[in-house]
Structure 1
Amino acid sequence: MSQTVDRALSILPLLAEGPAGLDQVARRLDVHKSTALRLLRTLHAHGLVHRQQDQRYRLGAALFALAQQAMESLDIREIAHPHLVALNEATGHTVHLAVHEQGEVVYIDKVDSRYPVRMYSRVGRPVAITVAAVAKLLLADLPEPERRALAERLEYPRYTPGSTPDAAAFLAELARVREQGWAQDLGGHEESINCVGAPIRGPDGRVCAAMSISAPNVVVTAEELLRLRPQVLRTAEAISRELSGTAPAGPANSP
């Protein structure tokens, strides 16, 4: 990278800390003020920095627009899929990916298990929002007023004796999920199916998707499935890092 480009790019992290004057920029770059001013003018011409009335510089609107455009162009499913396949190959169990859209939690990807028993879930189909691990993860990240309002307007079907009974129990479960950083559904939707999930975070640190691993208890017990939690968390963290651009592509699990 040329020295000029390197210096110009070094200004952006400085301004991300807050507005800075010409002297401060020059000191941080260890250059003469005339050099710092030339770099700032170039960035200003492209809208990447903005000069305030007090003559200090801050990040420009064009930079935020580029960041937003980049985030919107990310395909979570495309990025996550190789990681989901790797976890499936390492464990043999069904792996799901889900997002929260328009008040529903919907599966957007699924890798089936290699054993004969198949789960009813389908890509594009909403999940059982009050019991599914992926739903708990996505809703737990909502601000508290939104969580409470949502919990109070939901219905609570009794799929099994282990289903969430009411809003108070659901809010308590979401608080627990938010604190521990993972979720489970042990027979809450189908008595014979257990599930462990982990959150996927976007560049802004918010939970933008959730993934889970599921298996019938005729294949593995709930305790055995829970022992796979570290692998599930590693997979979700690897997807999050790749989605945020902080790690190279490549699955965290291998067979």
Structure 2
Amino acid sequence: MSQSVDRALSILPLLAEGPADLGRVADRLGVHKSTALRLLRTLHEHGLVYRQPDQRYRLGARLFALAQEAVENLDVREIAHPHLVRLNEECGHTVHLAVYEEDEVLYIDKVESRYPVRMYSRIGRPVAITVAAVAKLLLADLPEDRRRALAERLDYPMYTARSTPDAATFLEELARVREQGWATDLGGHEESINCVGAPIRGADGRVVAAMSLSAPNVVVTADELLALLPLVRRTADAIGREYSGTTPADTPHD
């Protein structure tokens, strides 16, 4: 990276701390004021910094617009898929990726089990929102008032004897998931299917997606599946780091 580009980029985190005058920018960069002014003018021309009436500089609106555009164009499925495949190759079980959109939790990716017993879930289809592990993870991250409002208007079908029976129970489960940072569905949707899941978080710490590992109890017991939870959580964390831009795309999988 050229020295000028390096210096210019160094100005941005400084201004993220708050407005700064020319002298402070020059001191932080260790350059003459004329050099700092030239860099600031270039950034100003591109809308990345703004000169206030008091002669101090702050981050420009264009920078925030670029950041928002970048976030909106991030494809969590594209980022997550290689990680999901590696997890599937390591343990052999079905892996799902889901997001929350317009009061529904939808599967957006799936890697099939290597075992002959397959699950009927499909990409693009909504999940059983009151029992699925991915749904619990996504809804648990909502603000309390939104969680409560949503829980109150949901139906609670009893798919099995282990299904969530009512809003109060569901809210208790979401609070537990929010605190522990992972979720399960142990026979809540289908008696024979167990599932463990973990959240995928963006740079702001909010849950942007959820992933899960599922298997029929004829292949592994619930306890055996739960033993794989640390692997699921490491995978989710790796996806989150890559999504947030805090780790290189080619970071080896744990």
CA 1:60 to 1:102, structure 2 compared with 1: closer, same or farther past 3 Å? same
Q: CA deviation at 1:57?
A: 1.3
Report which structure shows greater RCO (CA 8 Å, sep ≥6). Answer: 1
Within-5 A mapping of 1:181-192:
181-192=181-192
Opposite residue 140 of structure 1, the aligned amino acid is A
Question: 1 CA distance for matches of 2:14 and 2:169?
Answer: 46
Partner of 1:198: 198
**Does the CA-based 8 Å contact 1:105-1:126 persist in structure 2?**
yes
How many percent of aligned residue pairs carry the same amino acid? 81
Within-5 A mapping of 1:57-72:
57-72=57-72
Deviation >3 Å, runs of 4+? 250-254
Structure 2 length as normaliser, TM-score? 0.96
**Does the CA-based 8 Å contact 1:238-1:252 persist in structure 2?**
no
The secondary structure found in structure 1 opposite 2:50 is strand
Partner of 2:223: 223
Question: 1 CA distance for matches of 2:40 and 2:111?
Answer: 49
Q: CA deviation at 1:202?
A: 2.1
Q: Could you list the per-position Cα deviations for residues 221-243 of structure 1 after superposition, in whole angstroms to 9, with x for gaps in the alignment?
A: 11110110111011111111111
The secondary structure found in structure 1 opposite 2:115 is coil
Opposite residue 96 of structure 2, the aligned amino acid is H
Q: Gaps (5+ residues) in structure 1?
A: none
**Does the CA-based 8 Å contact 2:50-2:59 persist in structure 1?**
yes
Partner of 1:141: 141
**Does the CA-based 8 Å contact 1:197-1:232 persist in structure 2?**
yes
**Does the CA-based 8 Å contact 2:238-2:253 persist in structure 1?**
no
Partner of 2:3: 3
Partner of 1:243: 243
Give the number of aligned pairs: 254
Question: 2 CA distance for matches of 1:154 and 1:32?
Answer: 63
Within-5 A mapping of 1:24-63:
24-63=24-63
Partner of 1:122: 122
Q: CA deviation at 1:36?
A: 1.3
Partner of 2:108: 108
Partner of 1:86: 86
The secondary structure found in structure 2 opposite 1:211 is strand
Q: CA deviation at 1:181?
A: 1.0
Opposite residue 128 of structure 1, the aligned amino acid is A
Q: CA deviation at 1:247?
A: 1.1
Q: CA deviation at 1:253?
A: 4.3
Partner of 2:171: 171
- Which range moved further: 88-97 or 182-191? 182-191
Question: 2 CA distance for matches of 1:193 and 1:61?
Answer: 50
Q: Could you list the per-position Cα deviations for residues 161-183 of structure 1 after superposition, in whole angstroms to 9, with x for gaps in the alignment?
A: 11111111111111111111111
